[in-house]
Amino acid sequence: MDNAVPTMLPVGCLKDQVGVITGGGSGIGFGIAQQLAALGAHLVLAGRHAEKLEQAAEQLRGLGVEVVAVPTDVRQPQEVEHLFAVTRERFHRVDMLVNAAAGNFIVDSEKLSVNGWNAVVGSVLHGTFYCTRAAGLAMIEQGHGGRILSVVASYAWTGGPKTVHSVAAKAGVIALTRTLAVEWAHYGIRVNAICPGPTDTEGARPLWEDPETRQRVLARIPVGRFGTVTEVAQAASYLLSPYADFVNGEVLVIDGGEWLGKGLTS
Ligand code: HXC
């Protein structure tokens, strides 16, 4: 097996487990997929763009696991149903769900259209619920528990001017995470979230592409740099692994101290 992915957990600790990853074709979702595959999990990648998804799947198969790509818009409940039907038909189990699908753009709130609001809240909050419900039902029926992990952002609790759609949706995902962590614990299902700070991904880069914005964002990060996908994905793999079996309802922030960096001089 060609395993060039740096993992912090023992290779094989997720052997033969099955994970569904929305937004798994790129960015943080793909980084998490790489970690899980390197640790031995079979994967189902969901995303809107079939070609990108299949390329990602092919790359992951090189790590020696089975990977299926299922083009899915998580805003469409029927497509989410299909995603889990394919997963169960192919693998007969679902052990992990990662909700990494998201959409975001910068806009003055008074200019945000209803469609714009729906596009973001639909994929981040509604999509997370549709997928979480489907995964939870499968895990409950299987009877051996599971782990669910969602990707959020710290502006969910600090507020985030010009991203009101994403802020509101991510806050909803955190509330959902904490609620289901309690409600589903007796089924053996753990529900957690990771909260990456500014991370150098293709999707996020345009948000700080002009040099002035980039400098402003960097100046807010105490460690003085953007995060890497690998750093975020390794933290995700911990929460999805048996090493975190007593971690439930947690929102793990991986941001170099960014959200704390507010004081008299900053
Ligand atoms: C204003 C916009 C807009 C923009 C879309 N809309 N982009 N309004 N400014 N930049 C509006 C459209 O005008 C339309 O409303 C409605 O939203 C739907 O737009 P569509 O393009 O038709 O929808 P769709 O194809 O579904 O895509 C919408 C999207 C898109 C999901 C929001 O932006 C997208 O595909 N994003 C994926 C990439 C991404 O979001 N990357 C950022 C993730 S990283 P009207 O009224 O005109 O019909 C990230 C990091 C956070 O979020 C950093 C935290 C530290």
94-149 pLDDT, tens digit per residue, is 999 999 999 999 999 999 999 999 999 999 999 999 999 999 999 999 999 999 99
For 112-141, letters b (16+ CB in 10 Å) and e give beeeebebbbbbbbbbbbbbbebbbebbee
Residue 12, classed as helix, strand or coil, is coil
Given a cut of 60, whether residue 3 has pLDDT beyond it is no
C-alpha span between 56 and 61 (Å, rounded):
9
Q: Whose CA is nearest to atom 31 of ligand 1?
A: 103
The alpha carbon of residue 192 and the mean position of all alpha carbons in its chain are separated, in whole angstroms, by 10
Range of the domain at 159: 18-254
Indicate whether 262 belongs to any domain: no
**Confidence band, pLDDT 50/70/90 cuts, at residue 206:** confident
The tokens for 164 are 């009101």
* 20 bridge partner residues: 44, 97
The tokens for 207 are 């948000």
232 alpha carbon to ligand 1 midpoint, in Å?
A: 23
Indicate whether 11 belongs to any domain: no
127 alpha carbon to ligand 1 midpoint, in Å?
A: 15
Share of the chain above pLDDT 90, in %: 90
Domains: count for the chain: 1
pLDDT value at residue 1: 44
10-53 pLDDT per residue, tens: 898 999 999 999 999 999 999 999 999 999 999 999 999 999 99
Mean pLDDT of all residues in the chain?
95
Indicate whether 6 belongs to any domain: no
Angle subtended at Cα 77 by Cα 107 and Cα 247, rounded to the nearest 5 degrees:
80
- Locate the ligand 1 atom nearest the alpha carbon of residue 104 and give its number: 40
Indicate whether 51 belongs to any domain: yes
Looking up residue 226, the CATH number of its domain turns out to be 3.40.50.720
Query: The pTM is what?
Result: 0.95
Contact status, residue 155 vs residue 199, Cβ threshold 8 Å: no
